[in-house]
């Protein structure tokens, strides 16, 4: 029996021992604020959003290029003959086949748009799309920051659960020793030792599960930060009432006003509407006159030595009249896009108010549950202490201790979940207000 107890304690010692590191590199010490900062600026989704903004800025340069001067160079050599009769030339003495002859031509060509209302509007539309793309990038950054914050909190919860399971295992090991001592003293039955050992094995298994969940949570955090999943991460913050913190106003109406001004998803939707309106203006401007100037200069002739200078310059005024009503169709399409954007923006404003109200309700409930869970944990610890004293005094069996131990385990889990719930509610409120990137 003593050897079996020693074996159990040896197994427990192996379980309690720290697991080997996943890699040889030093762990990355990471605070909550640093995780949020990294994710909001370096997460893969944020980088992709930045690239989309770069593409939108390139489209501005492309649209502006239609209004800038165009310059080209061309050089040609031609050798040909032709049928004069096929060209309508039929006179006495004129041969049917004329040629072959050779022609050389070297020429510079330049053109410039002097007036193009549609082109100006297309540039403005491209700039509006840049504004929308930038706002969408901010929305992605907000989401990445909130996602990293939640991933960090899940690691903190998993770490707290490992600490709780270690405490459960230590209590279970202590109770095994106490049960064996009570049995050897003849004041308790062998079944008390068996029950205590069963609790010890259960605690060891729960500790293994908690460690696995901690490793998985660290991998999820690494992915949220765009790091290699095998990067060893050591968090420096724990689940406390001070984590996380954001500068959110106290009054609900002030939070809603702040969210309407800061939420990047609303800004992006408004920018999409502006881009659609400007695109429609560009389409309508296609009906207005367009003025262009073009010129070329070069040399041409039958041989390079006999080539002479030639030039051409001209101004062209174009007034579109009818294009099969394609412009009207494109303008109607953009009008529908504008109305769609207005509906989404109106719904998004209502959703923002709902998000803030929901987050406030969840936070109030979570903070109340946190207080209750802390009191429950204190009472469970007192119950455990009293039950152990009664068992040690021989006035109660260890079934009472096991019940108290189970109650303490549940109280610890409830306390951890309550603290995690309050922390996630604070993250949700910060995101609802558009302040996820300022979490610390």
Give the separation between CA 136 and CA 143, rounded to whole angstroms.
11
Helix axes 117-184, 398-432, angle to 10 degrees: 170
pLDDT in tens, the chain (440 residues): 445 555 555 555 555 555 554 445 688 899 999 999 999 988 888 999 999 999 999 999 998 988 899 999 999 998 888 887 787 777 777 788 877 878 889 999 999 988 888 888 889 889 988 998 999 999 999 999 999 999 999 999 999 999 999 988 888 888 888 888 878 877 777 887 888 888 888 888 989 999 999 999 999 999 999 988 888 999 999 888 888 888 888 899 999 999 999 999 999 999 989 989 988 888 888 888 989 999 999 999 888 888 888 999 999 998 888 888 888 898 899 999 999 999 999 999 999 999 999 999 999 999 999 999 999 999 999 988 898 888 887 777 778 888 888 899 999 999 999 999 999 999 999 999 999 999 88
Give the separation between CA 399 and CA 396, rounded to whole angstroms.
8
Give the per-residue pLDDT at 178.
Answer: 83
Give the per-residue pLDDT at 19.
Answer: 55
Give the per-residue pLDDT at 22.
Answer: 46
Give the per-residue pLDDT at 58.
Answer: 93
Q: Find the distance separating the first CA and the last CA of the chain, reported in whole Å.
A: 53
Cis peptide before 167, with omega less than 30 degrees from 0? no
In the chain, the domains with their CATH numbers are 2-438 (1.20.1600.10)
């Amino acid at each position: 029996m003593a050897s079996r107890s020693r074996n159990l304690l040896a197994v427990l010692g192996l379980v309690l021992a720290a697991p080997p590191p996943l890699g040889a590199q030093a762990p990355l010490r990471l605070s909550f604020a640093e995780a949020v900062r990294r994710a909001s600026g370096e997460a893969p989704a944020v980088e992709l959003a930045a690239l989309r903004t770069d593409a939108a800025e390139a489209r501005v340069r492309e649209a502006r290029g239609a209004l800038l001067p165009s310059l080209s160079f061309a050089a040609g050599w031609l050798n040909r003959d032709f049928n004069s009769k096929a060209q309508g030339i039929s006179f006495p003495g004129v041969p049917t086949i004329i040629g072959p002859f050779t022609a050389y031509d070297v020429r510079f060509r330049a053109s410039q748009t002097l007036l193009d209302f549609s082109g100006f509007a297309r540039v403005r539309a491209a700039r509006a799309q840049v504004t929308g793309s930038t706002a969408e990038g901010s929305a992605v950054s907000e989401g990445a920051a909130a996602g990293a914050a939640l991933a960090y909190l899940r690691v903190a919860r998993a770490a707290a659960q490992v600490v709780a399971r270690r405490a459960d295992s230590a209590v279970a090991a202590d109770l095994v020793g106490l049960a064996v001592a009570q049995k050897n003293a003849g004041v308790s039955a062998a079944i008390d030792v068996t029950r205590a050992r069963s609790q010890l094995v259960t605690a060891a298994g729960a500790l293994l599960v908690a460690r696995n969940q901690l490793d998985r949570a660290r991998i999820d955090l690494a992915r949220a930060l765009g790091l290699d999943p095998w990067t060893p991460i050591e968090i420096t913050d724990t689940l406390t009432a001070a984590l996380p913190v954001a500068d959110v106003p106290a009054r609900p109406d002030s939070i809603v006003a702040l969210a309407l001004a800061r939420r990047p998803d609303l800004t992006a939707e408004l920018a999409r509407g502006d881009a659609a309106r400007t695109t429609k203006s560009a389409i309508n401007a296609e009906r207005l006159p367009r003025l262009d100037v073009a010129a070329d200069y070069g040399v041409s002739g039958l041989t390079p030595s006999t080539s002479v200078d030639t030039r051409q310059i001209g101004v062209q005024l174009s007034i579109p009249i009818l294009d099969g009503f394609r412009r009207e169709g494109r303008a109607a399409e953009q009008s529908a896009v504008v109305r769609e954007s207005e509906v989404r923006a109106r719904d998004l404003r209502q959703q923002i108010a709902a998000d803030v109200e929901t987050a406030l309700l969840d936070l109030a409930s979570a903070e109340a549950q946190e207080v209750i869970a802390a009191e429950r944990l204190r009472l469970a610890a007192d119950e455990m202490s009293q039950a152990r004293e009664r068992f040690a005094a021989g006035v109660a069996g260890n079934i009472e201790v096991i019940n108290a131990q189970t109650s303490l385990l549940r109280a610890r889990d409830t306390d951890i979940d309550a603290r995690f719930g309050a922390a996630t509610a604070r993250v949700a409120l910060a995101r609802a207000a558009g302040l996820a990137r300022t979490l610390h």
